[in-house]
Amino acid sequence: MRLLPCGPTAVMVEVDDTDQAAQLAAHLRAAALAGVVDLVPAARTVLVSCSMAADLAAVESAVASFVPGSEIERSGILVEVPTVYDGDDLGSVADTIGCSVGEVVELHSSTVYDAAFCGFVPGFAYLTGLPRPLLLPRRQNPRPRVPGGSVAIAAGFTGVYPTTSPGGWHLLGRATVAMWDSSRPRPSFIEPGDRVRFVPVAG
Amino acid sequence: MTVLEIVAPGPLCTVQDLGRPGWAHLGVGASGAADQRAHRLANRLVGNPAECATLECTFGGLRVRFLTAAYIALAGAECPLSADGARVGHQQPAAVAAGTVLAIGAPRTGLRTYLAVRGGVEGPVVMGSRSTDLLSGLGPPPLVAGDRLAAGGYPGTELPTAMAPPVPPDESPITIWPGPRHHWFSPAGHDALVAAPYEVLGTSNRIGTRLSGAGLERTVLDELPSEGIVNGAVQVPTDGQPLILLADHGVTGGYPVIAVVDPGDLGRVAQARPGEQLRFRWRR
């Protein structure tokens, strides 16, 4: 664990991997420190932004009390994402890993994932825990337009594109719920710390 | 209640307030007025709390018709102003009669001008803010001719009696602190950033101020997995030319951040216009 400087009112903590970043973020969220404005876990770091420089001391001591490898203090929510598995890349993913389309769906939908962090656009959650056969690199040619709701895998993560955007992940299907809706009490369907399961539904 | 109509928005006019901090972990950036100090001053001059929304007008060109009488003030980049004969000056609160058209010319210096209306500009509140975030699309789209906006009534505060005295322009270097990937750059890179000025490029926007100048040499060439970004982060893409991230930046980024602009100087960065030179100094 390493503290990296980030201007007068923020600090970045670098850890070993995504799971540890999620654990540290959960640890700091649970500490509910006064003056913390934003707490942003990412692939290998947690950024903590405060309102004042004086708030950083408490953050640094909370970081020091973190034991890597400790159980994630989860939000306690298991989120289910109803998914129609009819993605454009289902066939090519099956070919690449040498199994049937049905087996890809079974692999992807039988796992409970951890929401490690959000980023890219509002409501895009990076989910970890992909079964080993589904650990594929990004597509060689990113698509200029991936439809909003697309359920996809790449680079060790699975996730759902909240809005139509460019994207380089392999498309397995589409979620039938909106990943982002500002008018909901919980605007992001998936929040960091949630556990997530994809539930196959008919199209 | 005040009602105003956009006659012409100029190059870019958006509704802005203090933004929506606190949602970065869901992928939502803070957004808000790019020059928060000017936004706060405009509000203060009409007796509004800082949370009230103002219109952020980029490089002048805004024309607004007040359909009802209003009490207004402008702060930020100083523009030539006309208001059908009404006495409206920069940083001087003014009463305008119903039917008045306020025309804001191009600023002589600076980039962003804030128009505050007593009571605050109304609009839908998304995640606690009325701000337009041009990157995520949250908040209302940029204003177009014909848009009508309401402004609130009595904000519950007295009108201030003191005016804002003109402040001489601050031409001192922008203060920067070491950023999380400071150590990815060579000592020559650290020195280059403060040795000579950088020119602001025309591709700058609310997401970031893009700069052209000495390239910043990296010693660590690893791929950087995306990590959190703060306002004022000085990010260095592969071409070595830095950019400073402003209000609408994404919550994470994959290029190393060599430095972070001191929050007190960020308004000056937001006011730097294309062609202008910015100088930096390290604070350690």
**A6 and A84 share a domain?**
no
Summarize the confidence of residues B136-152 as an average pLDDT.
Answer: 96
Residue at B161 is within a domain:
no
**A54 and A94 share a domain?**
no
Pairing of strands B174-178, B198-200: unpaired
Residue at A100 is within a domain:
yes
User: Nearest residue of B to residue A119 by CA position?
Assistant: B27
Residue at B165 is within a domain:
no
**A87 and A174 share a domain?**
yes
* Two structure tokens written together for B112: 């962003």
**B118 and B42 share a domain?**
yes
Mean per-residue pLDDT of chain B = 94
* Two structure tokens written together for B59: 């490089």
Query: Does A35 lie at the interface with B, CB-CB under 8 angstroms?
Result: no
Residue at B162 is within a domain:
no
Tell me the CATH number at A140. 2.40.100.10
pLDDT of residue A17: 93
Q: Which of B258, B270, B268, B272 is nearest to B177 (CA)?
A: B258
The span from the CA of A164 to the CA of A171, in Å, is: 13
Pairing of strands B174-178, B280-282: parallel
A170-179, B70-79, B125-134, B157-166: which range is least confident on average? B157-166
Q: Which of A40, A192, A179 is nearest to B250 (CA)?
A: A40
- Could you report the per-residue pLDDT of B75-121, keeping only the tens digit for each? 999 999 999 988 899 999 999 999 999 999 999 999 999 999 999 99
Residue at B118 is within a domain:
yes
**A56 and A148 share a domain?**
no
B282 near B190, Cβ under 8 Å? yes
Residues 6+ apart with CB under 8 A from B81: B74, B88, B89, B90, B102, B103, B104, B105
Mutation target for B interface from A40, A55, A128: give the one with most B CBs within 10 A: A40
Number of domains in chain A: 2
Task: State whether B260 and A25 contact (CB < 8 Å).
Answer: no
| 3-class SS letters over A128-142 | ECCCHHHCCCCCCCC
Residue the block writes with tokens 């606690």: B128
The span from the CA of B68 to the CA of A188, in Å, is: 40
Residue at B159 is within a domain:
no
Which helix (H) or strand (E) element contains residue B38? helix B36-45
Residue B254: pLDDT band (50, 70, 90) is confident
Q: Which amino acid is at B50?
A: A
**B118 and B220 share a domain?**
no
Q: Which of B190, B271, B229, B251 is nearest to B24 (CA)?
A: B251
Residue at B163 is within a domain:
no
Task: State whether A10 and B226 contact (CB < 8 Å).
Answer: no
- In this complex, the residue of A5, A187, A188 whose CB is nearest that of residue B179 is A5
**B146 and B233 share a domain?**
no
**B16 and B140 share a domain?**
yes
**B9 and B142 share a domain?**
yes
Task: State whether B27 and A124 contact (CB < 8 Å).
Answer: yes
pLDDT of residue B139: 96
**A60 and A146 share a domain?**
no
**B14 and B119 share a domain?**
yes
pLDDT of residue B20: 97
Task: State whether A182 and B126 contact (CB < 8 Å).
Answer: yes
- In this complex, the residue of A10, A44, A188 whose CB is nearest that of residue B225 is A44
Distance from CA of B84 to the nearest CA of A (A): 41
Residue at B167 is within a domain:
no
pLDDT of residue A73: 58
Beta strands in chain A (DSSP E): 2-5, 10-14, 36-41, 45-50, 78-84, 113-118, 125-128, 143-146, 150-154, 157-160, 165-167, 170-175, 195-200
**A11 and A82 share a domain?**
no
* Two structure tokens written together for B200: 């602001």
**A27 and A112 share a domain?**
no
Query: Does B24 lie at the interface with A, CB-CB under 8 angstroms?
Result: yes
Residue B251: pLDDT band (50, 70, 90) is very high
Number of domains in chain B: 2
Residues 6+ apart with CB under 8 A from A61: none
Mutation target for A interface from B251, B260, B265, B280: give the one with most A CBs within 10 A: B251
Task: State whether B179 and A38 contact (CB < 8 Å).
Answer: no
Task: State whether A46 and B27 contact (CB < 8 Å).
Answer: no
In the listed set A15, A30, A64, which residue is the last one of a domain according to the structure?
A64
Residue at A71 is within a domain:
no
* Residuewise pLDDT in 10s, chain A (203 residues): 999 999 999 999 999 999 899 999 999 999 999 999 999 999 999 999 999 999 999 999 999 999 987 665 566 699 999 999 999 999 999 999 999 999 999 999 999 999 999 988 899 999 999 999 999 998 988 898 999 999 999 989 999 999 998 889 999 999 999 999 999 999 999 999 899 999 999 98
Distance from CA of A28 to the nearest CA of B (A): 13
* Two structure tokens written together for A98: 């040498």
The answer on pLDDT for B223 being more than 90 is: no
**A47 and A130 share a domain?**
no
**B27 and B120 share a domain?**
yes
Per CB-CB distance under 8 Å, the chain A contacts of B265 are none
**A94 and A22 share a domain?**
no
**B278 and B180 share a domain?**
yes
Residue the block writes with tokens 């020091």: A64
Distances (CA, A) of A15 to A12, A41, A46, B57, B165: 10, 10, 8, 42, 49
**B87 and B11 share a domain?**
yes
Distances (CA, A) of B60 to B105, B145, B170: 5, 14, 21
* Two structure tokens written together for B64: 């607004």
Exposure string of B64-75, with b = 16+ CB inside 10 Å and e = fewer, is bbbeeebbbbbb
Per CB-CB distance under 8 Å, the chain A contacts of B22 are 37-38
**A41 and A97 share a domain?**
no
Residue the block writes with tokens 């960091």: A192
Tell me the CATH number at A44. 3.30.1360.40
Q: Which of B211, B207, B206, B204 is nearest to B280 (CA)?
A: B211
**A194 and A100 share a domain?**
yes
**B7 and B144 share a domain?**
yes
Residue at A73 is within a domain:
no
Task: State whether A7 and B232 contact (CB < 8 Å).
Answer: yes
Count Cβ–Cβ pairs < 8 Å, chain A vs chain B: 115
pLDDT of residue B158: 80
Residue B37 in 3-state DSSP?
A: helix
Residue B72 in 3-state DSSP?
A: strand
Distances (CA, A) of B270 to A67, B57, B113: 41, 12, 11
**B145 and B28 share a domain?**
yes
- In this complex, the residue of B21, B136, B179 whose CB is nearest that of residue A122 is B136
* Two structure tokens written together for B122: 């109304």
DSSP letters for A89-131: THHHHHHHHTS-HHHHHHHHHT--EEEEEE-SSTT-EEEE---
**B25 and B56 share a domain?**
yes
Per CB-CB distance under 8 Å, the chain A contacts of B250 are 119-120
**A130 and A31 share a domain?**
no
Q: Which residues form the domain of A36?
A: 2-64
ipTM of the prediction? 0.94
Q: Which residues form the domain of B47?
A: 2-151
